Homo-oligomer: A and B are copies of this chain.
Amino acid sequence: MALRLYTYWRSSAAYRVRIALAVKGLQYEAVPRHLLRDGGEQRRPEYLELNPQGLVPALEHDGHVVTQSLAICEYLEETHPLPPLLPADPLGRAAVRAMALAIACDVHPLNNLRVQQYLRGELGQDDATVSRWTRHWIDRGFVAFERLIARHTGDGRHCYGSSVTLADVFLVPQVYNARRAQLDLSPYPRLAAVVQHLESVPAFAAARPEAQPDAE
């Protein structure tokens, strides 16, 4: 089977999918789409044919296209179950999905490139205000996430239990964004400890932005 990932090195949503692919040991062709060049390559008509939302990532699998990072991860989980990225029991699966969604819904979209562009353009906000906005929503998310880790971690090195799950897959890229926004992680010690461990795991290291072919 042939896997092709439309990606951008700094996209944290693409970063999630790169981690999931690496954890499952799946080879893929990376097709970079530069989000800033020429007004954004993800907005070109031929890309909109693939993904009408005009966002990365998108995964092509034998000619079929899957979009939305969590839907892609669930697709990989269903088609390549091992190693699992979700627990076996429904309550565990729900807890892991809720952690992934707490980032995918309630943190990341608020700080996405297109939102920052709207705040600067249409609303005329300056860089300092946009940075404060960015840090505010990450902080709100991380305060809650810290409590979720306390509730669900098994070993202090993973968000849930004692192996890698989608909660870890979604947390690490958000921390990358948090560092870019110069957010101090010390108020979230459990979260910081989990990420420190995960960043040493080869699959996570291979997926990081700086290791991508289109890194600048």
Choose from B53, B115, B125, B147 the contact partner of A123 (Cβ within 8 Å): B125
By a CB distance below 8 angstroms, the chain B residues around A203 are none
* Residues 198 to 213 of chain A near chain B (Cβ within 8 Å): none
Q: Once the chains bind, are A102 and B68 in contact (CB under 8 Å)? A: yes
Tally of chain A residues near chain B (CB < 8 A): 47
Q: Does A101 lie at the interface of the complex (its beta carbon under 8 Å from any beta carbon of B)?
A: yes
Q: Once the chains bind, are A108 and B110 in contact (CB under 8 Å)? A: no
- Tell which of A22-30, A86-94, A172-180, A181-189 binds the partner: A86-94
Residues of A at under 8 Å CB distance from B? 48, 52-55, 64, 66-68, 70-72, 74-75, 78-79, 90-91, 93-95, 97-98, 101-102, 104-106, 108-110, 114-115, 118, 122-123, 125, 129, 132-133, 136, 140, 143-144, 147-148, 151
